[in-house]
Amino acid sequence: MAVCANAQTDVTNQHIKNPDFEINYLTYWTNTGMQMQNNVSFEKHGAVYVEKWVAKGSKVGTGHLRQVLKNLPQGKYTLTVMAQNIQQDAPSKAQTGAIIYAGDAETMVTTAGDYSVDFTHLHGNITIGFKLTNATGNYACVDNFRLYRNGDAYEGAAEDDARMYQAERDSLADLYANASGATPIVTTSDYIGVGSTFALGRSTIKLNGATVKERGYCYSAINPEPTVLDSVTTYSYAHEGSIYVMEPLAPQTFYWVRPYAITKDNVVAYGEPKYIATLPKGGCIWSYGYEGDDEQNARIVQAINNGIVNYNDCMGLKGFELKGHYVYGAGAGGGTADCSYGGYMRISQSTSYQRTGTVQHEFAHGVGVGTRKASWGYETVGSWDDTNVHNWEWFGRRANDLAHFLENSKEVQVVGDGTHTWVQNTNGRTNKLINYGINGANEDDNTQLLYRANAMMVEALHEDGLCATDDYHCGTPAYSFYYQPGKKYYIKSKNAERGLYDSYLYQRAATFIGWKPFDGAEAVSDSAAWYIEYIPASGYYTFKNVETGKYLTHASGGSSVSLKTIAESKKPGATEYFQLMPDRKDVTIKQGSEKVTTHGYWFLWYDGGNKSMSANKYGERLGYGTVAQASLNFADTATDQQWIIISEDELDAYQAIAVASGISKISVNDSTPDGLKTVVGIYAVDGKELQKTQKGFNIIRYNDGTSKKIFVK
C-alpha cells in the first residue's frame, strides 16, 4: 500500500465535487454497477459509502466510479481514498481486480484501509476513480476521496502551464472569431434560478440551418457579456429539456450569465445576458439526539446533514436550528416523521423515512410551510385562496415563476392543502412533474434536482411573504427584480387613479418626492429617473435619483417617503433599503393591436410593523401627488401600494400605449372602466368647460367629488 507522505496542501474541496458522497449521494460521479450504502459494516467516513456486494464466496466482478477533474493545475499530487476488496469470510486475505487511479497512475486495493496513488499532472483534465475488473472479492467498498498537492511538477511548470492555457484560449478565440456558416438564434430564459453557490438557466435555440455540437451557459463576475472563453458549463439536469447548472459560484455575488451554442462550423451564438445575484450562504444548523441504534442514527444523521446542506445552498436563511430526534412511532400512521414551527423534528423507526427527502419535507414545516396559518389566509402575506379546501392555489409570483421555469411551462400552478405544497398541471397538461413537496417517502428519488427544487420552492414561498422565523417580519427580501447597473429606471403607481397611465415618481423639491404626469411635450426628465442597486448580503434594493444623486429614504417615525443625500464616501443605510416583493396580479394596457402586460412590486420595510410606500391622491392645486409611508396592505386591490418599474429601453413603448390607453375618448357622462364613477365635467387648464377631452392637459371631475389631471397627445 502506498503512503501519502509529505503532503503540502489539501486541495480536495477545490477540485473534487462531493468527495465523500455525503451530499446528495452520487451527484457529480459517474457510476457503473455500484451503489450507496449507510450501514456500519465498512469503517466509512461520515454516514455513507459506495459498495458492490454479492454473497460470500461469489465475486463482485466489474464496477466503476469516476469523476473528471477539469483544468487541474500542474503539479505533483497524491490521491488517497478509503477502500477494500475482500471476501468477508477471509477479510485479511488479499483479493485482486480492484484499483484506485488518477490518470494512468494506479494502486491495487485489497484489505480495508487507506490507499494512495502518487501522480504528476502537467496540463488539462484528469480522471480519478475506483475500478473493479474481474474483482475476486465479494465486498468492494470506497469512500472519502482526498487530494493533496505536493509541489510543482518541475521547475518552471507553472509558467509552462499558464502559457499552454493562454495558447489554447488564443487559439479558440481565433477559431471562433473567423468561423462562418449558419448561425443559430439563442434565447435566454426569462427566469434564472439562483442559490448561494449555483445558478440554473434554460435556453431555446432556433437552428436556422445550423448543426449545434455544444450548448450550455457561460458566466462571469466581471464581463457584462460573458463568452465561452469565460467560465462555461454544459452540465445540466434533464427535465422538460435541459436545465444548465452553473457552479460553484460565490455566495452574495453578482454574475452576468447567458446561454450559448457552438455549431459544427465553430460559429458561436449567444443569448441575452442576465445580471443575477446569488443568495447569501444559508446559516441553518442542526443537532441530533442519537436515540436510535447505530444504523438508525447513521441514516438519520446523513439525512439531516444532507438536508441542511441543501437548504444552505438554496436559501439565505439565518438563525434556524433543526433539532432532530429518533422517536418510535412518530408521525402519521405510527411511523413517518413530523416537525413543528421552529424546527423540533421527530423521525420514526421506518427506514423509508430516515432519508434526505423526509428531512427536507419536515424542514419546510419548521420554517413555516403549513405551520404559519396566520400567514396563509386570503389577502395576507403568502395569500392562499381557500375556495377549495384541498386544492388551494398559491398566488405568490416567486413560487409560481420558479415552477414555470423548472417545468418549462406556464401551464402549471403551485397548490396545496394548507399544510403541504405541490405543483399541478393546468389546462389539460399531463407532463410528469417534480415532486416539489416530497410529500411522502415514495416521492424521494435521491436526485439533486429534486432536493434543490424542494429547497428553492420553500425559499420562493418565503420571498412571496411566508415568514421562516419570527425574525423575518415580511417574508425574505431577495433579488426579485432583474436590472442592469447604470441603466435608468422609471417608477409608477399601479393604481389607475394615481398615475398608472401617465405619471412617474419624481423628485419635486430638495428632499421631497411625488408623482405627476409627464406628457409628450414634456419628456420624462431625469428627475423621474432612478438608478437601482441591489445589496446581495441583505436582499434589499436602493434607488438613487439620476438628476440629483439623492436616495429614496423612509426615515423612522416619518409619514412620507423622501430623499436623502449620502456622501460618496458612505453607503446607504437601513432607512434607504427597500424590499421588493412582487404583486400577484398582472395589468394589461392596450392601444389598438398593441399592448403591454406587466406587474408591480410592494416597496417594503419593517419599522415597528410592516410598512409600504404608497401613492396618495393627486393634488390638483399642487400639480402632483405625494408619497406616504403606510401600513402594508397585502391585498391584490391595494394598487396604491404597488409600483411598476420600467427600464429606459421600455419607456417609449410604454408611454405610447399607456398614455393613449388611459385617456382616449373621454366624454361627459362616461363611466370609469370599473363602472363605479361617472364623468360629470371636463375642463381645460384655464377653466374652460369641455364636453370631451382635447389635446393638452385636461381636468376630469367625477360624480364622487374626485378629479384627475390627464394629458392628451
Non-local CB neighbours of 572 within 8 Å, separated by 6+ positions = 542, 551, 566
In one letter, which amino acid is 390? Answer: H
Sheet arrangement for strand 105-108: 30-32, 61-69, 126-135, 98-102, 105-108
Residue 381 lies in a domain: yes
Residue 383, pLDDT score: 44
Q: What mean pLDDT comes out for the span 659-679?
A: 73
Residue 304 lies in a domain: yes
Regarding whether 674 and 651 lie in a shared domain, the answer is: no
- 484 burial via Cβ count (<10 Å: 0-12, 13-18, 19+): middle
547: domain CATH number is 2.80.10.50
Regarding whether 256 and 131 lie in a shared domain, the answer is: no
Antiparallel, parallel or unpaired: β 321-326 and 344-347: parallel
Regarding whether 372 and 243 lie in a shared domain, the answer is: no
Given a cut of 90, whether residue 347 has pLDDT beyond it is yes
Cα angle: 131, vertex 135, 141; to 5 degrees: 60
Distance CA 128, CA 117 (A): 10
DSSP category for residue 197: S
Residue 670, pLDDT score: 83
Terminal-to-terminal C-alpha distance of the chain:
86
Regarding whether 572 and 551 lie in a shared domain, the answer is: yes
Cell of 473: 417580519
What are the backbone angles phi and psi of residue 658, rounded to the nearest 5°? -70, -45
Regarding whether 186 and 326 lie in a shared domain, the answer is: no
Q: Which of 463-467, 515-519, 640-644 has the lowest mean pLDDT?
A: 515-519
Angstrom CA distances, 371 to 375, 468, 577, stand at 9, 10, 29
Residue 663, pLDDT score: 54
Residue 689, pLDDT score: 87
Query: 408-421 burial, b if ≥16 CB within 10 A, otherwise e?
Result: bbeebbbbbbeebb
E strands along 494-623, which residues? Answer: 503-507, 513-517, 530-535, 540-545, 551-553, 562-564, 579-582, 587-591, 594-598, 601-606, 610-619
Write the pLDDT tens digit of every residue in 152-204: 999 999 999 999 999 999 999 999 999 999 999 999 999 999 999 999 999 99
Non-local CB neighbours of 675 within 8 Å, separated by 6+ positions = none
Residue 1, pLDDT score: 43
- 333 burial via Cβ count (<10 Å: 0-12, 13-18, 19+): exposed
Write the pLDDT tens digit of every residue in 206-257: 999 999 999 999 999 999 999 999 999 999 999 999 999 999 899 999 999 9
Regarding whether 357 and 257 lie in a shared domain, the answer is: no
User: pLDDT-based confidence at 5, cuts 50/70/90?
Assistant: very low
Q: What size, in residues, is the chain?
A: 713
Closest to 340 (Cα-Cα) out of 327, 350, 354: 327
Provide long-range contacts, Cβ within 8 A and 24+ apart, for 534-539: 534/277, 534/479, 534/481, 534/483, 535/577, 536/252, 536/253, 536/254, 536/277, 536/278, 536/279, 536/280, 536/479, 537/252, 537/280, 538/477, 538/577, 539/280, 539/316, 539/476, 539/477, 539/478, 539/479, 539/579
Residue 713, pLDDT score: 57
Regarding whether 445 and 315 lie in a shared domain, the answer is: yes
Residue 392, pLDDT score: 77
State which of 236, 260, 277 marks the end of a domain. Answer: 277
Given a cut of 50, whether residue 40 has pLDDT beyond it is yes
Q: State whether the Cα torsion 494-498-502-503 is positive or negative.
A: negative
State which of 642, 660, 678 marks the end of a domain. Answer: 660
Angstrom CA distances, 480 to 256, 399, 609, 669, stand at 16, 11, 22, 42
Non-local CB neighbours of 90 within 8 Å, separated by 6+ positions = none
Write the pLDDT tens digit of every residue in 437-495: 999 999 999 889 999 999 999 999 999 988 898 888 888 999 999 999 999 999 999 99
State which of 463, 478, 508 marks the end of a domain. Answer: 463
Give the helix, strand, coil percentages of the chain, each rounded to 5.
15, 35, 45
Residue 635 lies in a domain: yes
Note down the domain range covering 124: 9-149
Residue 673, pLDDT score: 62
Q: Which of 216-220, 425-429, 497-501, 603-607 has the lowest mean pLDDT?
A: 497-501
DSSP category for residue 498: G
Cell of 647: 427600464
Write the pLDDT tens digit of every residue in 55-75: 999 999 999 999 999 999 999
Residue 389, pLDDT score: 45
Regarding whether 416 and 296 lie in a shared domain, the answer is: yes
Regarding whether 674 and 549 lie in a shared domain, the answer is: no
- Average predicted confidence (pLDDT) for the chain: 90
205: domain CATH number is 2.60.40.10
Residue 472 lies in a domain: no
Angstrom CA distances, 578 to 322, 440, 470, 592, stand at 30, 38, 19, 36
Residue 711, pLDDT score: 63
Q: How many domains does the chain have?
A: 5
Given a cut of 80, whether residue 22 has pLDDT beyond it is no
Regarding whether 294 and 426 lie in a shared domain, the answer is: yes
Q: What mean pLDDT comes out for the span 417-440?
A: 93
Residue 598 lies in a domain: yes
Residue 521, pLDDT score: 43
Residue 531, pLDDT score: 98
Distance CA 645, CA 530 (A): 10
Q: What mean pLDDT comes out for the span 685-698?
A: 77
Residue 88 lies in a domain: yes
| pTM check: above 0.95 | no
Residue 45 lies in a domain: yes
Residue 386 lies in a domain: yes
DSSP category for residue 136: -
In 3-state terms, what secondary structure has residue 104?
Answer: coil
Cell of 288: 441530533
Q: Write out 307-330 in H/E/C secondary structure.
A: HHHHHHHHCCCCCCEEEEEECCCC
Q: What mean pLDDT comes out for the span 512-527?
A: 81
Distance CA 551, CA 548 (A): 9
Tell me which H or E stretch contains 32. Answer: strand 30-32
Given a cut of 80, whether residue 382 has pLDDT beyond it is no
Regarding whether 447 and 414 lie in a shared domain, the answer is: yes
Residue 386, pLDDT score: 45
Residue 395, pLDDT score: 85
Regarding whether 506 and 430 lie in a shared domain, the answer is: no
Given a cut of 70, whether residue 665 has pLDDT beyond it is no
Provide long-range contacts, Cβ within 8 A and 24+ apart, for 417-420: 417/389, 417/390, 417/391, 417/392, 418/370, 418/373, 418/376, 418/384, 418/386, 418/389, 418/392, 419/369, 419/370, 420/369, 420/370
Provide the CA 528 distance to its chain's centre, in angstroms.
31
